[in-house]
Amino acid sequence: MTRIKAAAKEKAELEGIEFKPFTFHDLKRKGISDTEGDKLKASGHRSAAMLNIYDVKPDKVKPTR
C-alpha cells in the first residue's frame, strides 16, 4: 500500500468512516465527473468518446412534477 493510501485509511479510521480501497485512476474519474464546465478540456482527451468512459455521474434533470 502506498503512503498516500495508508494515510487515507488511517484518517478514515480516526474519523469513523468506512475506508474503501481506491486506485489513482478512480481519482481521475471522480475529478472529471465533478468538473463544471468544459470536461473535455479539463480531462485532456481529444475525443468525446473517450471522455464518456470517465464521466460517470448521471445528468441532473428536473422532475416532471
pLDDT one-digit tens code per residue, 37-63: 888 888 888 888 887 777 777 777 888
For the cut 70, the answer to whether the pLDDT of residue 13 exceeds it is: yes
Annotated domain spans of the chain? 22-57
pLDDT of residue 3: 87
Q: What's the Cα-to-Cα distance from 5 to each of 26, 30, 33, 48, 49, rounded to whole Å?
A: 13, 16, 21, 31, 30
Q: Phi-psi category of 24—alpha, beta or left, where left has phi over 0 and alpha has psi -120 to 50?
A: alpha
pLDDT of residue 33: 81
Averaged over 1-17, what is the pLDDT? 86
For the cut 70, the answer to whether the pLDDT of residue 19 exceeds it is: yes
- pTM, full prediction: 0.52
pLDDT of residue 1: 60
Residues with Cβ < 8 Å from 42, sequence gap 6 or more?
A: 31, 32, 35
